[in-house]
A and B are shown apart, each in its own frame.
Chain A
Amino acid sequence: MQKDSENNAFHKTFATFSLVFLIITFSSISTEWNRMTSELVDEADNPHYGLPDIWDDKQVVCFHFPANSAPSGLDDGRHHFDFDGTDFKTDKDWNETGGCVGGFENFNNGLDLLNAAIEATGSTFLINSTEFSFGLQIDSIAGVEPCKVYQCASDGASGAWWALLHNGAYSIVGISDLVLDVDSVLTWQITSY
Chain B
Amino acid sequence: MIDAHAVNLGPYGLLLVNLTLLSVIGWALWKTERNLSSQSDTIVLFLLGVFAVSGRILLEPIPNVQPVTVIILMSGIYFGVTRSIILATSVALISNLFLGHGLWTLYQAFGWSLVGVIGALLSNKLHSKNITSNTPLMVLAAFCAFIFDWIVSLSVLHTLGPNLLFVYIISGIPFDLLHAIGNMFFVAWLASPLSEIMMRHLTVTKPLAVKELVKNRV
A binds B: yes
A residues near B (Cβ < 8 Å) are 4, 7-8, 11-12, 14-16, 18-19, 22-23, 26, 29-30, 33-34, 37-38, 40-41, 130, 132-134, 137, 156, 159, 161, 163, 170, 172-173, 191, 193
The verdict on A15 contacting B100 (CB below 8 Å), with A8-B134, A23-B62, A161-B159 known, is no
Contact residue among A26, A34, A163 (Cβ-Cβ distance under 8 Å from B159): A163
Q: B-side interface residues toward A, CB under 8 Å? A: 60, 62-63, 65, 99-100, 103-104, 132-135, 138, 158-161, 164, 167-168, 170-171, 173-175, 177-178, 181-182, 184-185, 187-189, 192
Interface of A is mostly: helix
Interface contact A156-B177, CB-CB below 8 Å: no
22 interchain pairs, CB-CB under 8 A: A11-B188, A15-B188, A16-B188, A19-B181, A22-B177, A22-B178, A23-B178, A26-B174, A26-B178, A34-B171, A38-B171, A40-B170, A41-B167, A132-B99, A132-B100, A133-B99, A133-B100, A137-B100, A156-B103, A170-B159, A172-B168, A173-B171
Most A Cβ at <10 Å: residue of B99, B104, B161, B188: B188
Given known contacts A22-B178, A34-B171, A191 and B159 CB-to-CB distance under 8 angstroms: yes
Report yes or no: A8 in contact with B192, Cβ–Cβ below 8 A: yes
Once the chains are docked, how many angstroms separate the CA of A170 from the CA of B157?
12
Q: Are B182 and A19 in contact (CB under 8 A)?
A: yes
Contact in complex: A130, B100 (CB < 8 Å):
yes
Contact of B184 among A18, A34, A130 (CB under 8 A): A18
